[in-house]
Amino acid sequence: MPLRPFALSFASVALVASLGAQEPAPGVRIGLTYAPGTRPGLYVLPLRGAGADSVRAIVARDLDHGDRIAVIAPDGGVIPSGPLNYALYQRLGAAAVLQMTMPGDGSLQVALHELASSTVRNSQRFVLPQPALGPAWRLAVHRVADEVERWVTGQQGVAASRVLFVRGGTLWQVDADGENAMPVPGVGAALGPAWHPNGTVIAWTELGDGGSRILMRDLTSGRTSVMSGRAAANLSPAFAPDGSQLAYAAGSDGTDILVRPLDGEAGSFAITAGQGSTNAQPSFSPDGRRVAFTTSRLGRNEIYISDSDGANPELLTTSGFGDQLYRSDPSWSPDGRAVAFSTQIEGRFQVATIALRDRSVKQHTSEGINEDPSWAPDARHLVLTSNRGGSRQLWVLDTESGRMRQLTRGPVARMAAWGPRLPAAR
Amino acid sequence: MRLVRRSRLLLAPVVLVTAGACFATRADLRIVQGDVLAVRDSVRAARLAAERRDSLARVATDSALARVVAALVTVGDSVVSIRGATQRMDGALREDLHTIRQQLITIQELTGQSQRRIQELRADLESDAADRASTPVVPSAAADTTRGTTTVGAAGGAGTPTGPGPAQLYQLGQDQLRRGSNTAARGAFTTLLTQHPQSDLAPDALYGIAETFTAEGNGVRADSVYNLVATRYPQSERAPIALYKRATAYRLVGQAERAQSLYRQIVETYPNSESARLAQGFLTSRRP
């Protein structure tokens, strides 16, 4: 009897196995041993327990969304008892097997079997907060997936993170896998959200009758503070990577970028001297020493970078690409190597990245209108606004493979900000 | 009663005189009437003459006023026209000035870009030259073997291998600095300064050394090197930036007066620099 489900399982992965079958190749040691230039195959075994199917589905989906691992998780299958048949899983195209068990005490025991060495390479027990399937439980499972991705590839995943965005004129948030989309409570007319590096504080632009102002909220305590001064327009907040400062655009006749400490306005200073031009959308480099921003000082919007004190401003986007009419929405990658931005190409906005090393530009989108990119913490994925599905929604782009997946559905969603990996307490 | 009687006695002479006047002749009356008529005629004539004069004067005045009003209208129209023309000219001038300003900024930016490209090109050329210089001498295929000698090919260089040029060294320093290899970056910049002290990249190299100290969090050394940039190369574009860096450092450690002094120095010495515009903000508390 046990052979029948196993046979079904085997049949369902036969195609994957045939695609994944490859000649033995010299391996590289990153997390696992697998052929260079390929995505290592990971067989995710089924498990039993409260919410077991959901655990497996969430982990498999998160690993797939990471775009670094070829996930093999066929429906059904048997839960193996005793030692694993490593040779069998190797024939199915896997480089490793993920084995998860639920002891019944609310925890999840996870083991990663490396097939090349026929050993358990990593093993860890994770606590899953109750009730099962609740937001905290889901976040804990996402964290498991992120850790498994680190075991396999050496790079931690970003499933345990959230995206802020604007829907219906107010702020919403959604998990990185597209689940749990909900409004941020107590926020009025809002634009341009930003995450604090600690993942527990956010800032945004609140629109009012007399103009706009910058608000900051501690999501844990619910305390909200006004961060902007008396100017009519206050826009596009961004936190410094060390979390000690907030940059935003302010002004009445044009805007300049101000930087202020979080604990008081007294130390605020301008890092642009626009003299009537618009300077906005600051984005810090990961070391906090430089800032990318949009400016109209050339008569059209372009991306500049400068030191974080405003010195050494430098035009970033002059390379011969696009319509050279409007570049905006800079987002400095968390690894510091590139800046993503929106650019007009043949009259439509598209998302591109520019490498800071050699200023080479890579256009990532061409279908529909795509704009407002924001980097994921892994410096590989971007969340952006696209109308490729008919209405403006958030999509996640893998900048390595070009793969796109839709993150939000329903009413129009835009102006996304991908937050940091969330701390375990939330 | 006594009072009434006395009043009657006093009125008696008056009544007698009045009654006597009534005894004047008719001829006398005619004479008086004639005189009255004559006076009346003369008065009427005088009045008519005056009215005629007034009429003429009024006509003259009205005419003059009309001319003045017409002139004023003409002047007003001219003023309006001139004002319109002035406004148009002002607008056109503003537009031209704005365009010129934008073009200047664009030229400045493109110049900066060009300088960057030129610098990269210089580094490449220096690299090529170094490669050629280090290429071993190869006998030509057309070597004259009849006399037991060889002819050196055109591609061969006779010189000894040379070290990297200033552009190469600067590029190397920048790359290392960007990578976070501050010691290696400082080495490249220092080599540039020692081997090519007259290079136009010397101020940039010195500034780069200061940047490496800043990246290491060594504010004291960074400040002294920034100061060297400003004093050794005051005409360099790096000079106001170096001063601004010093001022920022002093401001961040709470030495507001020294920072203000440096901000003032930037504004006074390099008024057209970007650093001066930023420094001005600290002097005037420009906070929207």
The pLDDT of residue A34? 62
A124 and A270 housed in the same domain: no
A278 and A262 housed in the same domain: yes
* Confidence band for A240, pLDDT divided at 50, 70 and 90: very high
SS (H, E, C) A218-281: ECCCCCEEECCCCCCEEEEEEECCCCCEEEEEEECCCEEEEEEECCCCCCCEECCCCCCCEEEE
Nearest to A418 by CA among A410, B266, A401, A399: A399
pLDDT at B11 over 60: no
A264 and A117 housed in the same domain: no
Cα distance from B259 to chain A (closest Cα, Å)? 13
DSSP summary character for residue A136 = H
Q: Quote the CA–CA distance of B112 and B114 in Å, as a whole number.
A: 5
The pLDDT of residue A26? 56
**In-domain check, residue A262:** yes
In B, which residues are within 8 Å of A250 by CB distance?
Answer: 288
Q: What share of chain A is helix, strand, coil (3-state, %, to 5)?
A: 15, 40, 45
pLDDT at B132 over 70: no
The pLDDT of residue B276? 95
Whether the ω angle into residue A131 lies within 30 degrees of 0, i.e. cis, is yes
DSSP A81-116: -SS--HHHHHHTT-SEEEEEE--SSSEEEEEEEETT
A357 and B178 in contact by Cβ < 8 A?
Answer: yes
* Environment class of A280 (CB within 10 Å of its CB; exposed 0-12, middle 13-18, buried 19+): buried
Cα distance from B206 to chain A (closest Cα, Å)? 15
pLDDT at A148 over 70: yes
Q: Residue range A386-407: average pLDDT? A: 96
| pLDDT tens digits, A53-74 | 999 999 999 999 999 999 998 8
Backbone phi and psi for residue A385, each to the nearest 5 degrees, phi listed first: -100, 130
Query: Chain B contact for A318, CB < 8 A?
Result: yes
Q: Of A153, A184, A216, which residue sits at a domain end?
A: A153
* Confidence band for B112, pLDDT divided at 50, 70 and 90: low
**Closest partner residue to A311 among B110, B244, B281, by Cβ?**
B244
Decide which of A136 and A424 is more confident.
A136
The pLDDT of residue A318? 74
Query: Chain B contact for A314, CB < 8 A?
Result: yes
Query: Chain B contact for A4, CB < 8 A?
Result: no
A307 and A169 housed in the same domain: yes
A132 and A166 housed in the same domain: no
B281 and A357 in contact by Cβ < 8 A?
Answer: no
Instruction: Provide the residue range defining the domain that includes A282.
Output: 161-421
Query: Chain A contact for B288, CB < 8 A?
Result: yes
A209 and A117 housed in the same domain: no
Q: Quote the CA–CA distance of B245 and B227 in Å, as a whole number.
A: 10
Say which CATH number the domain at A27 has: 3.40.50.10070
B102 and A298 in contact by Cβ < 8 A?
Answer: yes
DSSP summary character for residue A294 = E
A140 and A100 housed in the same domain: yes
A209 and A167 housed in the same domain: yes
Q: Quote the CA–CA distance of A339 and A182 in Å, as a whole number.
A: 29
- As for how many domains chain A has, the answer is 2
**In-domain check, residue A426:** no
| pLDDT tens digits, A193-203 | 999 999 999 99
The pLDDT of residue B151? 34
A315 and B109 in contact by Cβ < 8 A?
Answer: yes
CATH architecture of the domain formed by B164-284 = Alpha Horseshoe (1.25)
A contact test, residue of B278, B285, B286 with most A CBs within 10 A: B278
Q: Residue range B13-30: average pLDDT? A: 58
The packing angle between helices B182-195 and B166-179, to 10°, is 160
Backbone phi and psi for residue B267, each to the nearest 5 degrees, phi listed first: -65, -40
SS (H, E, C) chain B: CHHHHHHHHHHHHHHHHHHHHCCCCHHHHHHHHHHHHHHHHHHHHHHHHHHHHHHHHHHHHHHHHHHHHHHHHHHHHHHHHHHHHHHHHHHHHHHHHHHHHHHHHHHHHHHHHHHHHHHHHHHHHHHHHHHHHHCCCCECCCCCCCCCCCCECCCCCCCCCCCCCHHHHHHHHHHHHHHCCHHHHHHHHHHHHHHCCCCCCHHHHHHHHHHHHHHCCCHHHHHHHHHHHHHHCCCCCHHHHHHHHHHHHHHHCCCHHHHHHHHHHHHHHCCCCHHHHHHHHHHHCCCC
Q: Which two tokens stand for residue A150?
A: 């680190």
B contact test, residue of A318, A324, A339, A359 with most B CBs within 10 A: A318
Nearest to B179 by CA among A356, A380, A361, A330: A356
Cα distance from A312 to chain B (closest Cα, Å)? 7
Beta strands A201-208 and A96-101: pairing type? unpaired
- Number of inter-chain CB pairs under 8 A, A vs B: 60
> Over pLDDT 70: what percentage of chain A?
89
Query: Chain A contact for B117, CB < 8 A?
Result: no
Chain B nearest-CA residue for A277: B102
Beta strands A96-101 and A41-44: pairing type? parallel
* Confidence band for A27, pLDDT divided at 50, 70 and 90: low
A274 and A236 housed in the same domain: yes
What residues of chain A, 277 to 296, have a C-beta less than 8 Å from chain B? 289
pLDDT at A309 over 90: yes
Query: Chain A contact for B58, CB < 8 A?
Result: no
Cα distance from A317 to chain B (closest Cα, Å)? 10
State how far the alpha carbon of A370 is from the alpha carbons of A21, A166, A283, A294, A386, in Å. 37, 16, 19, 17, 4
Q: Which residues, at least 6 apart from B142, have a Cβ–Cβ distance to it below 8 Å?
A: B151
Query: Chain B contact for A275, CB < 8 A?
Result: yes
Say which CATH number the domain at A278 has: 2.120.10.30
| pLDDT tens digits, A265-297 | 777 899 998 778 899 999 999 999 999 999 998
Decide which of A24 and A310 is more confident.
A310
What residues of chain B, 183 to 242, have a C-beta less than 8 Å from chain A? 215, 241
Q: Of A153, A186, A215, which residue sits at a domain end?
A: A153
The pLDDT of residue A182? 95
Tokens 């400062």 identify what position? Answer: A245
**In-domain check, residue A272:** yes
The DSSP bridge partners found for residue A172 are A165, A183
Query: Chain B contact for A335, CB < 8 A?
Result: no
Q: Quote the CA–CA distance of B124 and B131 in Å, as a whole number.
A: 10
Q: Which two tokens stand for residue A98?
A: 């993920």
Q: ipTM, 2 decimals? A: 0.77
A318 and B274 in contact by Cβ < 8 A?
Answer: no
The DSSP bridge partners found for residue A363 are A352
DSSP summary character for residue A282 = E
Query: Chain A contact for B281, CB < 8 A?
Result: yes
A115 and A79 housed in the same domain: yes
B282 and A269 in contact by Cβ < 8 A?
Answer: yes
* Confidence band for A20, pLDDT divided at 50, 70 and 90: very low
* Spatial contact of A128 and A105, defined as CB atoms under 8 Å apart: no
A142 and A251 housed in the same domain: no
**Helix or strand run (H / E) with residue A10:** helix A3-12
Q: Which residues, at least 6 apart from A142, have a Cβ–Cβ distance to it below 8 Å?
A: A58, A62, A159, A160, A175, A176, A177
> Over pLDDT 90: what percentage of chain A?
72
pTM of the model: 0.73
Q: Of A153, A170, A194, which residue sits at a domain end?
A: A153
Q: Which two tokens stand for residue A175?
A: 């998990």
Domain map of chain B by residue range? Answer: 33-127, 164-284
Query: Chain A contact for B167, CB < 8 A?
Result: no
In B, which residues are within 8 Å of A255 by CB distance?
Answer: 288
* Spatial contact of A112 and A122, defined as CB atoms under 8 Å apart: yes
**Closest partner residue to A299 among B102, B112, B274, by Cβ?**
B102
| pLDDT tens digits, A40-53 | 999 999 998 888 99
Tokens 């024939």 identify what position? Answer: A91
In A, which residues are within 8 Å of B112 by CB distance?
Answer: 314-315
A201 and A345 housed in the same domain: yes
Which amino acid, B106?
Answer: T
